[in-house]
Every structure is written in structure tokens, then in C-alpha cells.
Amino acid sequence: MSEAKLRVEPTSFPGVFRSGDMLLTQNLTPGRRVYGERLFDQEGKEYREWVPDRSKLAAYIRKRGSFFPFKADSHVLYLGASSGTTPSHVSDLLTEGRVYCVEIAPRMFRDLVGVCEIRSNMMPILGDATKPDDLAFLVERADIIYQDVAQKNQAGIFARAMRRFPARWGMLAVKARSEDVTKDPEVIFREAAELLTKEGLTVREVVGLEPFEKDHAMIVVERE
């Protein structure tokens, strides 16, 4: 059951709503939660709270990120889907599209499968984000590549995926401490952006995600 009613207003990003500072998406599976998020009713529609300290994409929006390539019919290759928290909100956005959810950790993948079972536009893939060739036969197309993989060479992994799939847009969540705990996070973010530029991608934005995510930034790229 939904918890309460509130005034829900659209944002400039398709499929994303807000009530005050709270972000929401319209629930693709009414009555069901994914990670304990609150549910709200307005005019016969159910909305899920999109919690920015549980989702780097929500944190990016709260930090006034400017680029949001998701459309209702987008196909998204999501690398590092974990247990499905953020992918489930992307699923809410893609009412006519699909989210290919790649996760390598068996424990997280089991949870992810449970989320995908009730969301017809989410496809779980037990696979390695560092090996995009192994994913190609499962992915019909990718309009957007979104990556949240906490390990070394995050930008290199992302660049490899952008080379393999002809996605126009990409979003890379960089965790500085996974690269080098001794280096200034701002230097790591700059180096990641420079690598992607050398790969022929246009870096549209680099947005720090604090206070929601410490030592993280979202890098948005476009293939022109």
C-alpha cells in the first residue's frame, strides 16, 4: 500500500518528478518496493521516492546535473547493476524501452534477478563489465551506457564498452577511492575525463556527488 498523498510535479527530465526536494519516479509495478523506498499516491498514480544517497543517478539530479538522455523508448546497458536499486528507477523511466542489467557478483545478482522478475523491461545478465564482447549477443541495442563499477580503471572499462556498443550517450559514476586512495579525487575525476576525451568522446559534464556520495563524480559523455 502507498504511504501517503503529496503534491507531485514534473521536472525538466522525462519521467522524473519531484515534491519539494524529494525526487520520484512513477512506479512501474504499483504496490511493490525495491529497497524500502516510500510510495505515494496522487490522482490514481503511484510514485516511488528516489533516494539520492542510495542512487548515484538521483544524486546527480539533485546536484543539478544538466544532461539526462533517458527517454521512454531508450535501451540502456547498465554495467554494475548490483541488487537493482538504481536500475529499477531507470526501469520506471523506460516504459517502452529496456534495461540490460549486468552484474558479476553472485550474491548481488540473486537480488537483482528478484527485481527483474517483476519488471518486464529489466533483463539480468550475470557477466563481466570489463568484457563487453561477451555481452554483445545478449544486448539488442544500447542507446545509453551507464556504468557504476567500483574498481580500478573505471574510465578504461567504460571507454571499452562505449567502443563496443554504438551508444550516443554514456554516464560514468567514478568512485575515486577505488582508483587510488592516496590521490586527490578531483585529480582522478579530471584524469578520467581526459581519458574519455582521448577516446573521441565529448565530455559534457563532470558533477561531484557530495554530500550524497563521498569522493564520487558523474561524468556524462556524448558521441558526436
All domains of the chain in start order, with CATH:
4-50 (3.30.200.20), 56-222 (3.40.50.150)
* Mean pLDDT per 10-residue segment, the chain (224 residues): 76 96 97 96 94 98 97 98 98 98 97 97 97 95 97 97 96 96 96 98 98 97 94
pLDDT at 2: 63
pTM above 0.85, yes or no: yes
Are 194 and 221 in contact by the 8 Å Cβ rule? The answer is no
Report pLDDT for 28. Answer: 97
Angle at which helices 106-117 and 85-93 cross, to 10° = 30
Q: What is the pLDDT of residue 151?
A: 94
pLDDT score for 29:
97
Angle between helix axes 154-164 and 185-198 (nearest 10 degrees) is: 20
Are 102 and 79 in contact, with CB atoms under 8 Å apart?
yes
pLDDT in the model for residue 3: 62
